[in-house]
């Protein structure tokens, strides 16, 4: 079961990384998210929920996102390009 979950994670991550969309820096990505466009980088995803709050998703071993409504942006995300 653990191998299957890990494979789902690898498959989901590979699909995300295979997307050949534009690469943008943090400031541009955050601006686009504020405009309603979800952005993903590796295991991370940012999007705005219907109430207007920023959500941060972290890809789990099952290939789904675990979402949080942060009070601050984790520094690891600020280093992503």
Closest CA to 57 of 68, 49, 48: 68
Percent of the chain surpassing pLDDT 90: 35
Task: Show the low-confidence residues of the chain (pLDDT under 50).
Answer: none
Write out pLDDT tens, residues 37-54: 999 888 899 999 999 999
Domain residue limits, the chain:
2-78
Determine the distance from the C-alpha atom of residue 39 to the mean position of all C-alpha atoms in its chain, rounded to a whole number: 6
pTM, two decimal places: 0.77
Position 34 scores a pLDDT of 92
Position 49 scores a pLDDT of 92
């Amino acid at each position: 079961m653990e191998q299957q979950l890990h494979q789902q994670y690898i498959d989901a991550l590979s699909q995300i990384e295979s997307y050949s969309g534009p690469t943008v820096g943090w400031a541009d990505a955050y601006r686009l998210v504020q405009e309603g466009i979800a952005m993903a980088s590796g295991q991370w995803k940012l999007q705005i929920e219907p109430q207007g709050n920023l959500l941060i998703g972290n890809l789990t071993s099952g290939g789904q996102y675990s979402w949080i409504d942060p009070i601050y942006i984790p520094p690891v995300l600020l280093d992503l390009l």
